Amino acid sequence: MFRTALALLLMISAGSAAAQEKLTLTSQYGPDKPQTLLWKRFAEILEAERPGAYDITITVSGALGGEKEEAEAIRLGAITGAESTIANLTTWVPEGAVLDLPFLFSGPEEIERVLSGPAGEALREAYRAEGFEVPAFIIFGARHLLSDRPLPTPDDLKGLTVRSLQSDLHVALWRHLGANPTALPITEAYTALSNGVVDAMDMTKSGYEALKLYEVAPVLTETAHIWAVGVVYFDVNFWQSLDDEERALFDRAAKEGAAHFNELAAAEQDTALARAIEKGARAVEVDPNLWREAVAPFVDDYVAEMNDPEALAILEAIRASR
């Protein structure tokens, strides 16, 4: 009798283990950074609601490749969920580039308000059509210039090689300002700055410190030219395989994880810069009006040349929300 009961218990345990759904979630940053803590909060919510239902692996520090490789793996179903800058996904959803127009947003509150409305929903539909389910947007922070020298005016960029995000808009922006843009994944930025392949790049203050870019670009010029917006996204086929109750749980967990990320990322910006300064970095202030004037023709031209009704509709929705 005891042996029969034990055998039955082992069969039940084996069945429970086999029933666990495997989830692979990825972060480009270390285990203590907001990008990873987002997924930890997500996993905690899932475990609290459905104990033992999911076998969750969170890979960190870009272990499965850069943002582009992660996106391709999402589309193939090899990764369940990831975070990405909007710019990275413009390969598949070019209309998302409008969020990267310089000096489009005044700050996080405006971004959250705009993306909770029609503009955000239109973008979600566009991502879904390309295999990405986007339950939440995240705000990495304002982007600033990094180099081994101060770059207080737009003219200081002329002739420099600038590491660019892998985005047509970002490449065009640096070219407009007289720089020579080189599109590289973030995983290659440190080495490119170190060996002189590039002279400068842009990044949030938290990314500057987290990736130790101050070691190879000790001067951060506070341009705040673009607010870096991103997404929390999943393989759409995986998402559609969930039942209604499970999908609602994942949606809520992703939104709560994103809110947690936004809170951490906002708090981290100035403290991260302070830590970098303690390690030898220097911050340089600028006159923002000089930069707005320099990029205004670029914005006008870029918008005028958009042959994309969906992108223009999203831009109009953003402007209407503002």
The answer to whether 160 touches 145, Cβ cutoff 8 Å, is no
Strands (E), 127-199: 132-147, 161-164, 180-183
pLDDT value, residue 187: 86
φ, ψ of residue 283 in degrees (nearest 5): -105, 140
pLDDT value, residue 14: 41
Instruction: Give the CA-trace dihedral at 186, 202, 98, 107, to 10 degrees.
Output: 120
pLDDT value, residue 19: 65
3-state secondary structure of 80: coil
pTM over 0.85: no
pLDDT value, residue 15: 43
The answer to whether 266 touches 141, Cβ cutoff 8 Å, is yes
- The CATH number of domain 2-321, selected from 2.30.40.10, 3.30.428.10, 3.40.50.10860, 3.40.190.170: 3.40.190.170
- Separation of alpha carbons 25 and 80, rounded Å: 6
pLDDT along the chain (322 residues), means of 10: 38 48 94 95 97 96 92 96 92 89 90 90 94 97 97 97 91 96 92 97 94 97 95 97 97 98 92 96 96 92 82 81 68
3-state secondary structure of 152: coil
Rg from Cα positions in the chain = 21
Q: Could you tell me the residue ranges of all domains in the chain?
A: 2-321
